Homo-oligomer: A and B are copies of this chain.
Amino acid sequence: MFRRKKRWTDPLIPELMELVGEEHVLYHRSDLIAYECDGFTLVRGEARAVVFPADTGEVAAVVRHLHRKEIPFIARGAGTGLSGGATPLGGEVIISLVRMKQLLKLDLENRTAVVQPGFVNLKLTRSIEGDGYYYAPDPSSQYACTIGGNVAENAGGAHCLKYGVTTNHVLGAEVVLPDGEVIRLGEDGIPDIPGYDLLGLVTGSEGTLGIVTEITVRVLKAPEAKQTILAYFDDVEEGSRAVSDIISAGILPAALEMMDRTAIEAVESANFPVGHPLDVEALLLIEVDGIAEGIPSQSSRIVEMCRRRKVREVKVARNEREAAAWWANRKTGFGAMGAISPDYLVQDGVIPRSALPDVLEKIREISRETGLRIANIFHAGDGNLHPLILFDGRKPGEKEKALAAGSRCLQVCADAGGTITGEHGVGIEKIEEMRLVFTEEELQAQIAIREVFNPDNRLNPNKLFPQPGRCAEVKQERQRTVQGK
């Protein structure tokens, strides 16, 4: 029996198969659809192929090959990113890291873990919680997102108020540079290293400087005890003031989350309702953790501070199950929007904590003016807002209106002395908004840094920074939609 030798329309495909194995390359149009975008679904593009390397050597081999052939490429983890960082703009090869999902090393004595980039965030905590440890950064997508993706986006989460974002937990990385060279950054387990902080530079670089193929992270001892407090307010401003009071009092909660009335309606209509009253204007969900003896006094001080701010009701979770239900209700909040709106656009801005009441009022104005409902779910403790703009994509013009409203929310954050992304990244979504917070010179300085690592802009091209060329078209298109509101 002879198998007829397949003739390829794209000669790159058999070359990639040579490098990673035939079954680890996708190239059919139907297979590529799933890779047209990441969690930011409003911009889509078609990849040339998707490859699934098994290890660093295969990543480096694929990268060297693409570098020689001058073909652009993008690294991708679970694709849960919310700003289009893993979205192809047309013709890129996607290097998916999902097969590289091993926990390579655990050193609990020195509190470090070494993982491959495709290792799922939550699995790390699951692997070590039996020994009393956990991995702190906890984006809401932690059940699916990968630590490699977390490094690319410098992911945060509800607990970054107390424990910091991903960059505070990454101690070392192996990186494949855009020409295929493999370097190591950081020293495993050593917090400060000599020379420039290249590890910090790569963390949060949104896949534009290199492909991280191995990561050493810090793991923490689980806190001895924790407690969750829930407070309902008839007035958003009073809730915001309670947030300020708590922080000013020197209490550093592990998490301090706020949801407004529209957000509460959504989460109560979705899969994890917990009986929140539907007529309150805001709720605060507060977690304190630490040494067992310290918890009751912290809880009662927080309850007291809420009471001083005209809280309608404030309660402490009666048991772990109740706290877990409250948190599940909060953590699935974005998805819950589907219960009250056909589509939604999540924004991500940061403001100084003291500007919270003002900025929330301005977002309500945008909602009134555009006629679009805007729900707010956010990390109030560190001023990281997530306005969720609800719209119906089937109605002509609504998507554009939503994009414009989102852009205005970011402008409000920038005007308040804040910035345009807290944890979701710039990706393709916010390229234009980079101009709200950086001057042309500052952008050029950043692009000069990219050129050191990625001189041909072949790795994740046309992301993160506004620039001429292909990107200009995308920008123009986005500007048209933004201006078209």
Contacts and interface: CB of A to CB of B under 8 A. Distances in A.
A156 interface: yes
Contacts of A298: 291
Contacts of A111: 247
Interface in A142-194: 154, 156, 164-165, 167-168, 181, 183-184, 187-194
Contacts of A167: 192, 197, 200
Contacts of A296: 293
Interface string A101-120: 00000011111000000000
A446 B198 contact: yes
A445 B455 CA distance: 13
Nearest to A436: B194
Given A290-B294, A291-B298, A350 B195 contact: no
A221 interface: yes
Contact of A109 (B132, B183, B354): B354
Q: Chain A interface residue count: which class?
A: 35 or more
B192 A350 contact: yes
A313 to B, nearest CB: 26
A196 interface: yes
Contacts of A204: 192, 196-197
Contacts of A422: 192
A425 B168 contact: no
A205 B194 contact: no
A224 interface: yes
B198 A203 contact: no
A437 interface: yes
Interface in A227-269: 244, 247-250, 252
A183 B441 contact: yes
Interface of A: 107-111, 132, 154, 156, 164-165, 167-168, 181, 183-184, 187-198, 200-201, 203-205, 209, 221-224, 244, 247-250, 252, 290-294, 296-298, 350, 352-354, 382-383, 417-423, 425-426, 430, 434, 437-438, 441-443, 445-446, 448-453, 464-465
